[in-house]
Amino acid sequence: ELSFIHRYVPTMDPGRPPLLLLHGTGGNEDDLLPLGQTISPGSALLSPRGKVLENGMPRFFRRLAEGVFDEADVKARAHELADFIAEARKAYGLNAPIAVGFSNGANIAAAMLLPRPEALAGAVLLRAMVPLKDAPQSDLTGKPVLMISGAMDPIIPADNATQLAEMLKKAGATVDHQILRGGHGLTQADVQLAAGWLATEA
């Protein structure tokens, strides 16, 4: 038994990297399977369900209010998720995955990348924000990260997303930060950018 409820879809194209799919608040392990299949056809898909419940809605870490995180919980959950990835890699025979996270899922991916860079081969962070004010020092040299933000996102101030991009760059990651004209929801532009980036950078 692995330590998270999850879905796993085996690869149909071993040339494609495995994806770790991380849903947003109120989502589950099924939500991002179609997105994963669309942006990287044939990739193995590993899709856990967040263990924290907020009024019945699954998430990957606790928050005190919208945009105000329980940082101790963020850190503990980031390690718990990195441990799950290691278990799942052994069970399914996978290379380190590229995280594809939306909103709360993107935030836990960013929180995990800093203390546990070995857990991920890279990340696509859709509508991410700074997950930890005192982020651990780490070496992300050469890690490819695509961040896609919405200029009119009511949940994530534009300068907060930019601050996360700077934080990741400072740690050595190769960050491509794209800012779309939209809001918090994903659009066709996100799908196209992510697919193009996964085909060329990842």
- Radius of gyration of the chain, Cα coordinates, nearest whole angstrom: 15
Give the H or E element holding residue 87.
helix 71-92
Nearer Cβ to ligand MLT, position 153 or 202? 153
**Which residues make up the interface to ligand MLT (CB under 6 A)?**
24-25, 63, 66-67, 103-104, 107, 155
Query: Cβ-closest residue to ligand MLT?
Result: 104
Residue 28's nearest CA partner among 61, 58, 60 is: 58
Q: Is 134 a catalytic residue?
A: no
90: left (phi over 0), alpha (psi -120 to 50) or beta: alpha
Q: Which residues pair with 99 in a beta bridge?
A: 20, 123
Q: How far is the CB of 80 from ligand MLT (least distance, A)?
A: 16
Residue 19 DSSP class = E
Q: Is 177 a catalytic residue?
A: no
Residue 20's nearest CA partner among 31, 38, 36, 4 is: 36
Distance set, CA 98 to CA 2, 5, 54, 177, 195 (Å): 19, 19, 27, 16, 13
Nearer Cβ to ligand MLT, position 15 or 154? 154
Q: How far is the CB of 67 from ligand MLT (least distance, A)?
A: 5
Nearer Cβ to ligand MLT, position 16 or 184? 184
* 157 Cβ contact list (under 8 Å, min separation 6): none
Nearer Cβ to ligand MLT, position 11 or 25? 25
Grouping H, G, I as helix, E, B as strand and the rest as coil, residue 164 is helix
Catalytic residue among 31, 153, 177, 190: 153
Q: Is 30 a catalytic residue?
A: no
Catalytic residue among 43, 47, 103, 149: 103
- Active site positions, annotated: 103, 153, 184
